[in-house]
Amino acid sequence: MNFDKELMKTEHLTSIQSTAFLIYLVKIQDKSYFGYILKQEYQNKYHLDEFIAIDMQQQNEIKYIRKLNKKVRQGFYTFETYNQYTLLSELKQLQEQVILKICQDILMALFALHQKGILGRCFNVNNILFIENQHSVLMEYGFYPDLEFQVPEMIYNQAYNEKIDIFLLGRVLFYLMVGKDLPQFNMKNLNEASTDINLAIASTKYSDGLKNLVISMLSIDVNKRIEYVQLFAKFKNNQLYSLQEQFYKQNTFKNLTKNIIEKREYDDIIKFEEPEIFEIQDTQDFANMIKDQQIKVSYNLLSDKSTIDQSQSMGSFNPPDYEDYNKFTSLNQQQIISKVSGTQKTTTIKQDTEEIKIKKTILENEQFLRVLPYLNSDLTQDLLIWNQIYFYLYRFSLMEKLIEELQSHLQCKNNYLISIAIYGMKKAELILKREYQVSLEKCQNLYYIPVEEWQKFINSVEYKKMSSKIKFDIDVNQRLLLQKDYVQLKKVLDQYKNEGLLKDLYKFIEQYLNDNSELNDFEFIKRQYRYILTNILSLFESSEDKQNTYIKLLIMMCILIKRVCDTLSIPHHFKTICKFLKTDQINSIVQIESFLKNGTAQDFIAQYEELKQCYFSG
């Protein structure tokens, strides 16, 4: 038999997927086999030879794992085939009992592998067979193939452990329940993707028990992911449960796989690239660059508001400790948002008219959903209340926008002020979320909602979901801040904190940057936070560059972060947006999003000046 011509025909290639092998259906001595033939890119990966011996030459006796045929010698690996089989990828939204049976089958397969010190590691719906509608078979597993999917802990922790198999099994169940695969995780979408996953599961027809199980398997925090002992206890009605329980209560499996993982991923481990700013060594050139840019530093941040020089340019103003709120009058609590004109008489908005407007906005604008991470795909009955809440939560979206812009700017042009601002923004966002979480736990009505309606709303499932999501965000963000962002910040400070420009700034912000205690009060850190942002305004002075004016506006909005989306204040500082949209009121955050997306440089300058004059006019 000519190996190349006869076996490797396209029509013989199966749909079973592997990162390391092409899997053909081959016929040898009138019998069919699955032939595993190395892909070209694996031909010279000699450092993996010890793993291929372990993965491919295991003689598995249980029916849930592929069966090796040792008798056939053709220069490739052959495994038993089946008369009738279906890939799990061809099965979607199955009956719950079928999903549970598939889950139990895979657990039985994983237990057999784990006993031998092997991880599933690379199984998915495209390489698991459902045989004659009776049981499942893993056709791909082990340490030899490269990982096909990055589990979340590889994003924030740069490594994985034995619990990768729990997540991958959850991924299989998610597909069978929802009908689509999980999104690819990255640092930017980690929290948002987790929310989308949980909401997708929650909206399915299955029992709460199954939904909760899969959500616990797909936790992006590996330490909060369900343990093997707990998982197998869900399926304890099998004859091997006592052995399974005893096996996973020991640390032998964990310790063994830890060493193998470290050995396997030594050459291929994913490493985060540090920003180029950490590689800057020529401080003299950097000093010249700062001088050429004519960066202005504000030294009188602590001065009284009346001492601010009104002739200063936009980039050198000094935010006061507190805005003048007295000029804003109290408005009707029934309103979603005040009228643009401060002198216009407030009126009560009819519920039915507003509900139609909000529903229409949600359905027509995908941007709305992207900045509302807590909204279920099914519209809730409390749309008016949610609209109020989303104005409040939109602060976090604005802060994320600015962080992303500053990170992009840092990649193009190194500046330690930008590095400090990024860290300062992330920390302030975390503190605001902590502050908000406290208010949620106390069920505080921050949204001008009538008492009776509010009392009913705080007992809803949606309210509890929002509270849980905020708490989860805090846990993840705090871990990233301490384990990654603070470490990078220290490198910058150690290199530049004694230089003239940063030396004057550092004495005002040192405590804020280095105090990582549990702060829940934004007012306590507001002055340092604003000082950091004020000192990067001059980096974006060019009015001819639309991107600069956009970033400058975001900086101003973030300086005013607690005021900018307050529904009672919006009529007084978003008149520019109303003019741009040709409307007399702002009743949805989509309108703000539309302005930020479609506005011109002149529009952004006008809105910046409006905010500046409204709150810092002296």
pLDDT band, residue 66 (cuts 50/70/90): very high
C-alpha distances in angstroms, 226 versus 60, 157, 215, 230? 27, 18, 9, 7
CATH 1.10.510.10: which residues of the chain? Answer: 21-264
- Give the distance, in angstroms, between the CA of residue 578 and the centroid of all CA atoms in the same chain: 32
Place of tokens 């994913």: 270
- Residue 185 CB neighbour total at 10 angstroms: 20
Is the Cβ–Cβ distance between 568 and 338 less than 8 Å?
yes
Which candidate, 300, 245, 25, 228, places its Cα nearest to that of 139?
A: 25
In this predicted model, which residue has the larger pLDDT, 270 or 282?
A: 282
How far apart CA 56 and CA 54 sit, in angstroms, is 6
How far apart CA 169 and CA 109 sit, in angstroms, is 11
**Burial status of residue 246 (CB atoms within 10 A of its CB: 0-12, 13-18, 19 or more):** exposed
Judged against a pLDDT cut of 70, whether residue 51 lies above it is answered with: yes
102: amino acid identity, one letter: I
Predicted local distance difference test score (pLDDT) of residue 500: 67
In the structure encoding, which two tokens stand for residue 15, read together? 């749909």
Q: What does residue 26 show for φ and ψ, rounded to 5 degrees?
A: -115, 150
In the structure encoding, which two tokens stand for residue 93, read together? 């939204």
How far apart CA 77 and CA 297 sit, in angstroms, is 68
pLDDT tens, 109-146? 999 999 988 999 999 999 999 998 889 999 999 998 98
Which helix (DSSP H) or strand (DSSP E) does residue 505 occupy? Answer: helix 500-514
Which candidate, 205, 115, 137, 217, places its Cα nearest to that of 173?
A: 217
Q: Is the dihedral of CA 197, 215, 133, 228 positive or negative?
A: positive
DSSP state of 79: E
Predicted local distance difference test score (pLDDT) of residue 350: 39
Q: Is the dihedral of CA 437, 440, 441, 445 positive or negative?
A: positive
Is the Cβ–Cβ distance between 22 and 76 less than 8 Å?
no
- Residue 442 CB neighbour total at 10 angstroms: 8
Q: What SS3 class is residue 130?
A: strand
Is the Cβ–Cβ distance between 35 and 22 less than 8 Å?
no
Pick the most confident of 126-135, 184-193, 254-263.
126-135
Judged against a pLDDT cut of 80, whether residue 75 lies above it is answered with: no
Estimate the share of the chain in helix, then strand, then coil, as percent rounded to the nearest 5.
55, 5, 40
Instruction: Using CA atoms of 517, 522, 523, 525 in order, give the dihedral in degrees to the nearest 10.
Output: 50
Q: What does residue 374 show for φ and ψ, rounded to 5 degrees?
A: -105, 0
pLDDT band, residue 316 (cuts 50/70/90): very low
C-alpha distances in angstroms, 236 versus 12, 29, 89, 157? 41, 43, 27, 32
In the structure encoding, which two tokens stand for residue 177, read together? 């329940």
How far apart CA 394 and CA 591 sit, in angstroms, is 12
Rounded to the nearest integer, the mean pLDDT of the chain is 78
How far apart CA 6 and CA 573 sit, in angstroms, is 74
In the structure encoding, which two tokens stand for residue 291, read together? 């001088």
Mean pLDDT confidence for 325-343: 33
Predicted local distance difference test score (pLDDT) of residue 358: 43
Predicted local distance difference test score (pLDDT) of residue 237: 84
C-alpha distances in angstroms, 29 versus 1, 10, 175? 11, 21, 38
What's domain 21-264's superfamily in CATH? Transferase(Phosphotransferase) domain 1 (1.10.510.10)
How far apart CA 141 and CA 65 sit, in angstroms, is 9
Judged against a pLDDT cut of 50, whether residue 344 lies above it is answered with: no
Among the listed ranges 246-255, 268-277, 487-496, which one has the minimum average pLDDT value? Answer: 268-277
Judged against a pLDDT cut of 70, whether residue 582 lies above it is answered with: yes
Is the Cβ–Cβ distance between 376 and 469 less than 8 Å?
no
Predicted local distance difference test score (pLDDT) of residue 266: 64
Is the Cβ–Cβ distance between 379 and 362 less than 8 Å?
yes
Q: In what order do the strands lie in the sheet with 31-38?
A: 21-28, 31-38, 77-80
Predicted local distance difference test score (pLDDT) of residue 125: 95
Q: What SS3 class is residue 262?
A: helix
Mean pLDDT confidence for 588-608: 91
End-to-end, the C-alpha distance of the chain in Å comes to 90
Predicted local distance difference test score (pLDDT) of residue 561: 93
pLDDT tens, 480-515? 888 788 888 888 888 877 776 677 777 778 778 877
Mean pLDDT confidence for 563-574: 89
Which helix (DSSP H) or strand (DSSP E) does residue 542 occupy? Answer: none
Place of tokens 């923004």: 425
Predicted local distance difference test score (pLDDT) of residue 45: 80
Is the Cβ–Cβ distance between 78 and 28 less than 8 Å?
yes
Mean pLDDT confidence for 392-421: 87
Runs of H (alpha helix) within 16-163: 49-56, 96-115, 153-156
In the structure encoding, which two tokens stand for residue 125, read together? 């719906």
Q: Residue 244, by phi and psi: left (phi above 0), alpha (psi -120 to 50) or beta?
A: alpha
Which candidate, 119, 142, 127, places its Cα nearest to that of 55?
A: 142
How far apart CA 528 and CA 512 sit, in angstroms, is 7
Q: What is the pTM of this model?
A: 0.48
Pairing of strands 85-87, 77-80: unpaired
Q: What SS3 class is residue 195?
A: helix
In percent, the amount of the chain with pLDDT more than 90 equals: 30
